[in-house]
Amino acid sequence: MSPAFRAMDVEPRAKGVLLEPFVHQVGGHSCVLRFNETTLCKPLVPREHQFYETLPAEMRKFTPQYKGVVSVRFEEDEDRNLCLIAYPLKGDHGIVDIVDNSDCEPKSKLLRWTTNKKHHVLETEKTPKDWVRQHRKEEKMKSHKLEEEFEWLKKSEVLYYTVEKKGNISSQLKHYNPWSMKCHQQQLQRMKENAKHRNQYSILCSRASLHLRVPCVLDLKMGTRQHGDDASEEKAANQIRKCQQSTSAVIGVRVCGMQVYQAGSGQLMFMNKYHGRKLSVQGFKEALFQFFHNGRYLRRELLGPVLKKLTELKAVLERQESYRFYSSSLLVIYDGKERPEVVLDSDAEDLEDLSEESADESAGAYAYKPIGASSVDVRMIDFAHTTCRLYGEDTVVHEGQDAGYIFGLQSLIDIVTEISEESGE
């Protein structure tokens, strides 16, 4: 825990926010939680907190927006269901102003989230006990089957999940995003078994996948070196081995996780970090191709915007002196649910009534064009091992650019360019 927060108290009489799983987490080992529609919550690491506090202005467009610090407490209800509650720190009234959990759904008993709170901003009112008992009885039967499926999901490095078209995809992912489920269960288990973890500080950051109906997420571990300067000999040796046995040593980047929607089959494909480590350079290129392919055709309109952002990021990092982003990841995110297409000769009234289904059925008979430009986001995340000369307590001070990270970016640019050229773009 950071000394700066050790003595800080929770705001008196503050409302707590019931945290829920962030279902689009595809990589990393820290538990990422959903604070509200626009904000995520992750454990506070002093070095990462310092990074956000001293972040160069030109890097902000490529990182999540830092929103502050909250105290997260582990609590149990009368039936020993676990829940994590976030409370603003004393004097930080801005945090409570961003609370908005209006679109949340009851938590899954599979993940041991409490289900006895009707509202996600905890107040003094109680949910009637008879309603709670009835709800839990119904959920208990479902949970046994889900737990069996979860054990199978954890062992799968690549898997496919068929999405119900009429259902809410985020709600479905609460049960079927294997990496998200794994991280959340491990976090809750640690807090349950160890009292010292039951009250910790977390940072709040903006959510990159906001407003995307079906987020497709690629988590890339960047750089030729992953261990921080403060790593033990054993930890450093382990990280060096992982780099040498993966594409990290050859091209400076490897797949750490992936979630992509394939419209052709109506399936979500998940790939975890263990499979990513096994990929050859050619396998890495094929994984990138698969990430931009919707099961019917390559999403060529995404490649140009991705290349533009990667090139901009590379130029920004080339101007950063002394930074080393060890073990940092790069997220590439886009909406797997494509925007509606419209007939070129349609009038305004026809355009309003045209749905995605009718456009698909008519494909080939008319000329179509997408409404607006496709949105792609590229963000650097995970700075727990980042170092810079601004961090006065660091014994090792590096000079110049982070050559390993920049090398990985250039490799990524080259491979996406190859995919674009080979597809006829």
User: Running along the chain, 425 residues long, what does each successive block of 10 average in pLDDT?
Assistant: 50 72 70 85 90 94 93 75 80 54 37 32 40 51 50 60 59 54 63 60 76 88 96 96 97 95 87 92 97 94 97 98 96 86 47 38 32 74 93 89 98 98 80
- Where helices occur in 376-402 by DSSP H, the ranges are none
pLDDT confidence of residue 88: 86
pLDDT confidence of residue 84: 80
pTM score, whole prediction: 0.74
Across the strands, what pairs with 122?
A: 16
- Give the DSSP H/E element, type plus range, for residue 235: helix 233-244
- Give the DSSP H/E element, type plus range, for residue 315: helix 300-317
Instruction: Specify the 3-state DSSP secondary structure of 385.
Output: strand
- 10 Å CB burial of residue 45 (0-12, 13-18, 19+) is buried
Provide the 8-state DSSP code for 113: B
